[in-house]
Structure 1
Amino acid sequence: MRIVVINHVTLDGIMQGPGRADEDTRDGFTHGGWAAERGADDVITAAWGRRLAAGSGYLLGRRTYSDVLAHWNTQDSPFRDALNSAPKYVASNTLSEPLLWPNSTLLSGDIPEAVTELKKIPGNDLHIMGSGVLIRSLAPFGLIDEYLLCIHPLVLGAGRRLFADGFCPTTFHVAEATPTATGVIIASYRPHSSTSTGAIL
């Protein structure tokens, strides 16, 4: 399996709380919902739809898993059944089985090691949404194959960043980039193979 990060980010790299005001208020964050105005762009919807097609699954951190479960399973939305039926792997050393969301498997202990074993299983892509802590724990081991980022034309100046201080040094090549009418750039980045060594090319 390939591991693909799919996230909204601002020009200053903020990934916190893109969808709604109460999504993630940690550290007093007050800008929640910053991607909502442009997130319904037809080009973005199509790009995400292609990636999240039937058969793909999810790899999520504990907080994102709990938030998505709490939000989408209370919504009358066409996404609810699709999310419930998709395979979900949850990286957590605080949750315990059985997990509440259908088709969910707990990954615990050494998370990078567990994901290394998971990647050996043939299958469709697993997508990481949100889950900044999980992303930062996997990146130094070269376990993330691609970052599909919707880069929004705004700067927030505060919040949790995707590539925060201490992120492992990495170089990427751009596999694809598409501008949208709302000013968002949808870009697919793939880390060079030397990522796991922490080297900069």
Structure 2
Amino acid sequence: MASLILKLSVSLDGFVAPLDGSTDWVAAGRSDDGASWTLETLSNAGAHLIGATTYAGWAGYWPGASGPFAKPMNEIPKVVFSDSLASAGWGETTIATGDLTAAITRLKRERSDGYLLAHGGVRFARSLVETGLIDEYRLVIHPAVLGAGERLFTAPLTIEPTSTTVFSGGAVAHVFTAHP
């Protein structure tokens, strides 16, 4: 059975998205060692799980991209969660509809080749947290203060620290195991 890992960027003041929706803040603390950690996380996934909004942006970017991140993003199967998307033109993509908990449970049972790596927009990520099915959180804290925005967690959650990696650019990756 595959585990479900949620990987997200978080600002120093705890936001995963600013109110204006910009993403430039995630460049704060960028470094080669941080990129290597992220590339390893992406490359070891058995499937990428993404929400419809993230899919829309990535499907327009990754198929024509080059560089080390393009291969795992294009070649590893993707599952986009949407009740409104009619087709998915980005290679190796399937669409999951209906109940999120049932779909994640099914994917966890069906997969044995690497973990399920969820990326997100904040709404998709929060929905995953609410299912209680996330096994591990990989949160990269960037040295940026947004002042306001969207938070990932909206209720208490029991997690256990697994590892912390400090990158040369100032970002820090915290890995936590979730407990039901």
State if a TM-score over 0.5 links the two structures. Answer: yes
CA RMSD in angstroms comes to 2.0
Offset of residue 54 of structure 1: 5.1
Offset of residue 77 of structure 1: 3.4
Q: Which moved more, 1:148-157 or 1:74-83?
A: 74-83
Offset of residue 78 of structure 1: 4.0
**2:135 counterpart of 1:145:** yes
Q: Deviations over 1:84-107 (max 9, x none)?
A: 21110111111013x111111111
1:160-179 to 2 correspondences below 5 Å: 160-163=150-153, 167-179=154-166
Query: 1: CA distance between counterparts of 2:23 and 2:74?
Result: 25
* Shift in alpha-carbon separation, 1:28–1:45, aligned structure 2, 3 A: closer
The higher-RCO structure (CA 8 Å, 6+ apart) is 2
Alignment: residue pair count? 178
Query: 1: CA distance between counterparts of 2:131 and 2:152?
Result: 17
Query: 1: CA distance between counterparts of 2:52 and 2:34?
Result: 26
Offset of residue 151 of structure 1: 0.6
Tell whether the 8 Å contact from 2:5 to 2:138 is kept in structure 1 after alignment.
Answer: yes
Q: Which moved more, 1:140-149 or 1:58-67?
A: 140-149
The residue that corresponds to 1:124 in the other structure is 114
The residue that corresponds to 1:7 in the other structure is 8
Tell whether the 8 Å contact from 2:39 to 2:69 is kept in structure 1 after alignment.
Answer: no
Residue of 18, 21, 27 corresponding to 1:36 = 27
Q: Which moved more, 1:128-137 or 1:84-93?
A: 128-137
Gaps of 5+ in 2: none
Secondary structure of the structure 2 residue equivalent to 1:96? coil
Query: 2: CA distance between counterparts of 1:139 and 1:59?
Result: 13
**2:175 counterpart of 1:188:** yes
Query: 2: CA distance between counterparts of 1:143 and 1:92?
Result: 18
Tell whether the 8 Å contact from 2:55 to 2:80 is kept in structure 1 after alignment.
Answer: yes
Tell whether the 8 Å contact from 1:7 to 1:149 is kept in structure 2 after alignment.
Answer: yes
Gaps of 5+ in 1: 18-26, 194-201
Q: Which moved more, 1:100-109 or 1:71-80?
A: 71-80
Secondary structure of the structure 2 residue equivalent to 1:137? helix
1:10 aligned partner, one-letter code: S
Q: Percent identity?
A: 32
Secondary structure of the structure 2 residue equivalent to 1:160? coil
Residue of 93, 101, 106 corresponding to 2:83 = 93
**2:105 counterpart of 1:105:** no
Which protein shows a greater Rg? 1
